Amino acid sequence: MTHYNRRDFLKLTAAGAAGAALAGCATAPEVSKPVGRVLVIGGGYGGATAAKYLRMWSQGTIEVFLIERNTEFVSCPMSNLVLEGSRSMADITRGYAKLRDYGVHVLHDEVTGIDVQKKHVKLKRIQDLPYDRLVVSPGIDFMHDQIQGYGADAQTTIHHAWKAGPETAALRRQLEAMRDGGVYVLSIPAAPYRCPPGPYERACQVASYFKKAKPKSKVIILDANPDVTSKAGLFKAAWKDLYPGMIEYHGNAAAKAVDAKAMTVKTDFDTVRGDVLNVIPPQRAGDVARGAGLITANNRWCGVDWLSMESTAVKGIHVLGDATLSAPLMPKSGQMANQHAKLAAAAIVELINGRQPSSTPLAMNTCYSFVSDKEAVHVASVHTYDPKDKTLKVVPGSGGLSPSRNEMEGIYGWGWAQNIWVDMLG
């Protein structure tokens, strides 16, 4: 992985340096001058994929910078398996080095602002970067203030672990330290939120760990939604068959307040005490999107033109992944972020070259959920553009649910993860 200091950066961005910087790329031809520069903010399922495919599909004629503050990618999909103990943090962690083979300049820096008029991205450690087009894949940030008592102090002991990384490991340690016979409380926000089936998979994984290591323990789910939001029948069957009497589900039970000292979660109807509290707050598009004026709906999500993923609020900026105002029946999932990235990359290549993007984009989603350490279920769908409503809609009859859980689904699920990580990171 190339690391840039200020001096290197100035050399790289000086006039005439771009061609030399692109030389020697394994998958892109050498060019004397790029036709445009695209900056990509965020190196997750959306951003990393967009950076790679922009280089591939432009045949190296577009200069691409990926700006990501973390030095490693940690996958949210599959992170619940770390809580169960069947996978480690190392299993879901990947590096960015292989993107260099495609000619992507990876900068580990933090974006402090976006000047949409001058088309500059402001960085914490390096000089501002100009762009012709900008891709923003900021993920989510959390609305802790929507839950009374969930301030900075409470967050040190009450984890959401809804961004995979240190909180995932911290929550696992809490589960390991919990007494046998203890109670784990999982609070789920009202939809939409990142990964609709994720909390219910998490309940399964914690129950699977308890079944093996702490069989007297209990899982209590406090769900702000009236019922399980995804794969309801499959999850409920797993709870009944695999974890009888261990998982207690409450719908219409939004968390209104938490007390980190008393270890309680308060809803409209009850106050529930636990030994481990896992409270997932309501969510919105990441801070970078809000700072750039990209949020258009309910002060939470970013509207986009689904033909190009271009923001409906600020032209020249394309928004990907969980930050978008989702199309009908389109989940906020890793697979969808990957698909958004490819739609955007294809459109940007056309737009930079003075052409119009395709009017018939397709996006596909597959989401696996593990209900035990080895068994999984899935849901799949195909989405196509509807010119009348100007959105992506599910193709009738496409995809659907797996008929039942089984170990082969688990093999497919882990294989899906391995494949998409290679697809996005090289």
On whether both 191 and 120 belong to a single domain, the answer is no
Q: Has residue 52 been placed in a domain?
A: yes
Specify the DSSP class assigned to residue 324. Answer: B
Per-residue pLDDT reduced to its tens digit, 291-316:
999 999 888 999 999 999 999 999 99
On whether both 306 and 201 belong to a single domain, the answer is no
Separation CA 140–CA 288 (nearest Å): 10
Predicted confidence at residue 33, as pLDDT, reads: 76
Separation CA 309–CA 321 (nearest Å): 10
Q: Give the E-state strand segments of 4-56 in sequence order.
A: 36-41
Q: Has residue 82 been placed in a domain?
A: yes
Separation CA 125–CA 111 (nearest Å): 9
On whether both 25 and 73 belong to a single domain, the answer is yes
Q: Has residue 411 been placed in a domain?
A: no
Name the domain boundary from 240, 259, 281.
Answer: 281
| Ranges under pLDDT 50 in the chain | 1-30
Q: Has residue 130 been placed in a domain?
A: yes
Per-residue pLDDT reduced to its tens digit, 115-136:
999 999 999 999 999 999 999 9
Q: Has residue 31 been placed in a domain?
A: yes
Name the domain boundary from 229, 247, 281.
Answer: 281
pTM of the shown model? 0.92
Q: What percent of the chain has pLDDT over 90?
A: 91
Q: Has residue 47 been placed in a domain?
A: yes
Predicted confidence at residue 405, as pLDDT, reads: 97
Name the domain boundary from 331, 359, 387.
Answer: 359
On whether both 181 and 107 belong to a single domain, the answer is no
Number of domains in the chain: 2
On whether both 243 and 270 belong to a single domain, the answer is yes
For residue 290, count CB atoms less than 10 angstroms from its CB and return exposed for 0-12, middle for 13-18, buried for 19 or more. Answer: middle
Q: How big is the CA angle at 142 (ends 208 and 348), to the nearest 5 degrees? A: 100
Per-residue pLDDT reduced to its tens digit, 43-96:
999 999 999 999 999 999 999 999 999 999 999 999 999 999 999 999 999 999
* Cis upstream peptide for 282 (omega within 30°): no
On whether both 160 and 134 belong to a single domain, the answer is no
Separation CA 55–CA 38 (nearest Å): 10
Q: Has residue 164 been placed in a domain?
A: yes
Separation CA 222–CA 251 (nearest Å): 6
CATH code for the domain of 122: 3.50.50.60
On whether both 98 and 132 belong to a single domain, the answer is yes
Check: CB of residue 184 under 8 Å from CB of residue 276.
yes
On whether both 263 and 299 belong to a single domain, the answer is no
Separation CA 5–CA 41 (nearest Å): 19
Separation CA 108–CA 117 (nearest Å): 24
Predicted confidence at residue 32, as pLDDT, reads: 52
What stretch of H or E contains 239? helix 232-242
On whether both 28 and 134 belong to a single domain, the answer is yes
On whether both 121 and 242 belong to a single domain, the answer is no
On whether both 304 and 219 belong to a single domain, the answer is no
- Structural domain of 200: 145-281
Q: Has residue 59 been placed in a domain?
A: yes
On whether both 161 and 275 belong to a single domain, the answer is yes
Predicted confidence at residue 54, as pLDDT, reads: 98
Q: By three-state DSSP, how is residue 95 classified?
A: strand
Separation CA 399–CA 374 (nearest Å): 23
